[in-house]
Amino acid sequence: MSTTSSHTAAVTVATLRKLKRNGEKIACLTAYDASFAAMVDGAGVEVVLVGDSLGMVVQGRETTVPVSMDDMVYHSRAAARGQRRALLMVDMPFMSYATPAQALLNAARLMQEGGAHMVKLEGGAIQVDTVSNLTARGIPVCAHLGLQPQSVHRLGGYRVQGREAAAAEAMLQDAQALQEAGADVLILESVPSALAARITAQMTIPVIGIGAGPDCDGQVLVLYDMLGITQGKTPKFARNFMPGHDNVQAAMAAYVEAVKSGTFPAPEHCFD
């Protein structure tokens, strides 16, 4: 496998589904501006994620909760100017999708003003009506289960989710409900590897993991974690790809190669 993706055409939802069917891993990285989006795209990822993680790694906040819709539109628009081939996925920030009607208006902003190709939202069965409303109107949706950073205050911190049998079963049911509602992609964050493997095997849509083990259909990392420049504690599931590489672009390409070959995540990046 080369260090860049074998796909030269623009990546679409159909591309991601085909990769899952063919058993080829999907590589995703965050980017928040035009320069990094261009580099990430050039490294061969299938998905560039403009995450609300920008609240922490760009704005210096303690959580993602203060990030606004205007913030997300601004950074999405900037990233869209840089990327050329990858699918541009953009987070809907805290309380921007409290109702299906509100979600529709804000998702439209991200696509029309921000250039997003897909929006991402957190939550399980409670989001079924919202996902159905968005996808019925032509808006691709990525659902997000497991650790949900926008709910960090309710969760009591950044904790692994789904370790208890009841919680694991509820997450599986949520995943199935979101898929039936029309979700195009599912992200699992900080989930035991065995549970993530079970969910991935039962989903027909692509499942992308972050701290969810090697058996997901793809992997995503926050760019700043991957480059080793995150301030403070680095998550267990992250890996710094800069050592051994002369420049940022080479480190990004190494990340893509590691995802594609299955060497990342390694056991030390996973949860039991």
- List residues bridging with 189 in a β-sheet: 146, 210
Average pLDDT over residues 16-45: 98
Annotation marks residue 257 as catalytic = no
Residue 270 located in a structural domain: no
Say which of 180, 189, 257, 268 is annotated catalytic: 189
CATH number of the domain bearing residue 170: 3.20.20.60
Residue 191 located in a structural domain: yes
Which residue type is seen at 138?
A: G
- Average pLDDT value for the chain: 95
Per-residue pLDDT for 1 more than 60? no
Residue 269 located in a structural domain: no
Cα–Cα distance measured from residue 167 to residue 146, given in angstroms and rounded to the nearest whole number:
10
Give the number of other Cβ atoms within 10 Å of residue 172's Cβ: 17
Which residue type is seen at 80?
A: A
Residue 4 located in a structural domain: no
Residue 272 located in a structural domain: no
Element (DSSP H or E) covering residue 145: strand 141-146
pLDDT value, residue 233: 84
Per-residue pLDDT for 117 more than 90? yes
Instruction: List, for residues 126-160, the tens digit of each pLDDT value.
Output: 999 999 999 999 999 999 999 999 988 777 778 89
Residue 7 located in a structural domain: no
Residue 76 located in a structural domain: yes
Flag the least confident range among 3-7, 61-65, 147-151: 3-7
Name the token pair of 243: 């050592």
Per-residue pLDDT for 115 more than 60? yes
Q: Structural domain of residue 132, as residue ranges?
A: 13-264
pLDDT value, residue 8: 74
* Nearest CA among 206, 211, 179 for reference residue 192: 211
Indicate the DSSP class of residue 227.
T
Average pLDDT over residues 221-230: 96
Cα–Cα distance measured from residue 181 to residue 133, given in angstroms and rounded to the nearest whole number:
9
Number of domains in the chain: 1
Per-residue pLDDT for 2 more than 70? no
Residue 241 located in a structural domain: yes
Cα–Cα distance measured from residue 242 to residue 228, given in angstroms and rounded to the nearest whole number:
7
